[in-house]
Amino acid sequence: MALASLTEYLDAQKVAYLVISHSPAYTAQGIAGLAHISGRELAKTVMVKLDGQLVMAVVPAKYHVDLVSLRRGTNAKTASLATEDEFRDRFPQCETGAMPPFGNLYGLPVYADDSLEDDKEIAFNAGTHRELIRMAWEDYKRLAQPTIIRFAAGRAAEAA
């Protein structure tokens, strides 16, 4: 989904958002630094296979997907990271790894970590490694309708 397609969708849904352009970056933490956004507020989309089905797992940039927690939280029997070859064709207008967390636009279930609810806004890749969208968390939730569960790894180290 190119930036134009995503902004057209958000406009049609009457959602307020901000487009943030930055130098090319390929890691969530790198993007957060360039865009001056907290690693907790910037969300990354991780493609996962649950019982062989492709799904989106959305976590704050500073965390990782705990596959065991995701599997348990979804009652799946198996959970594994999807390879780029397994999902690249699902997102023809997006640069690989820069797909926005709107599985509803791609026929994919979305699981969002519950820590994302701690912030009023969410920012995420807008289909390229050069643009982000920032919008209200509540608007994102209404549009993407993610299943919200706890599956992010890395919180224990932060709490210590």
Question: Is 39's pLDDT higher than 80?
Answer: no
> Right CATH number for 3-159 from 2.40.10.10, 3.40.50.300, 3.40.50.2300, 3.90.960.10?
3.90.960.10
- Average pLDDT in the 139-147 region? 97
Which pLDDT does position 114 carry in this prediction? 96
- 88: DSSP letter: G
Give the start-end residues of each E strand in 22-90.
Answer: 43-50, 53-60, 64-65, 79-81
Average confidence score pLDDT of the chain: 88
- Give the contacts of 11 (CB within 8 A, at least 6 positions apart): none
Question: Is 55's pLDDT higher than 60?
Answer: yes
Q: What is the pLDDT confidence band of residue 22, given thresholds at 50, 70 and 90?
A: confident
Question: Is 160's pLDDT higher than 50?
Answer: no
pTM of the full predicted structure? 0.89
CA dihedral 115, 67, 127, 145 (to 10 degrees): -50
Judged by average pLDDT, the poorest of 1-5, 11-15, 47-51, 86-90 is 1-5
> 84-136: per-residue pLDDT in tens?
999 989 998 898 888 999 999 999 999 999 999 998 999 999 998 888 999 99
